[in-house]
Amino acid sequence: MGMTRLKKVLPWMAVLAALGLLGGCANLCGVEKAPPQAPPPPPAVKKWSPPKPAPVTEKPAPAPALPTTYTVEKCDDLWSISAKPQIYNDPWLWCLIYNANKDKIKDPNKLKVGTVLTVPRSISDADKADARKCSMKFPKYMPPKGAKRYCPPK
């Protein structure tokens, strides 16, 4: 039994001896082992700083100029003109346009296509209140029954 045990252990001993010789050969053959290197230092941590605010301009950009005139188009009436965002954005202020253009408008319910109307811009709150009272006296223009007034949607 001793011999079989030796046959099993002998190959392992030969492997260990070979590894020992190979490891020692590097020292004997003049091959230098590189000294172990220290790990690189961690990257420097940057301190957080808030972003710089955008430079402030001295004057804000001017608002787009609102039109001071309006050319009447097909199917326009004072109510719809004053309701346009670029005019007053309020249909109840149509009397302001009517009062400023009485020389061009004979009937506030009938406008001629191509008429250039003046749109007053320097109006006070009191003027707006008066215009709203004025517009409540006049009902919105309604064409008579049977009238052929087709206005395509804009």
**pLDDT per residue as tens digits for the range 10-62:** 777 777 777 776 666 555 555 566 777 888 888 888 888 888 887 776 777 77
Q: CA-to-CA distance for 108 and 76, rounded, in angstroms?
A: 11
Closest alpha carbon to 81 in 100, 53, 60, 65: 100
| Interval 68-84 mean pLDDT | 88
Structure tokens, 138:
């006049």
- pLDDT tens track for 94-149: 999 999 999 998 888 788 899 999 999 888 999 999 998 888 887 665 555 655 55
Write down the pLDDT at residue 130.
Answer: 92
Higher pLDDT, 8 or 126: 126
User: Which residues are registered as beta bridge partners of 70?
Assistant: 117
pLDDT at position 41 is: 84
Query: Sorting pLDDT into bands at 50, 70 and 90, what band is 66?
Result: confident
Three-state secondary-structure class, residue 110: strand
**How far is Cα 46 from Cα 69, in angstroms, rounded to an integer?**
60
- Listed residue (56, 67, 71, 60) closest to 114, CA to CA: 71
At 128 the pLDDT is 92
| Higher pLDDT among residues 5 and 76, named by residue | 76
Tokens of 80: 């719809």
Length of the chain: 154
CA distance 57 to 59: 6
Token pair 């395509």 in the structure block, residue:
152
d(CA 87, CA 66): 7
Query: What single-letter amino acid sits at 96?
Result: L
Q: What's the pLDDT score for residue 139? A: 63
CB 74 within 8 A of CB 151: yes
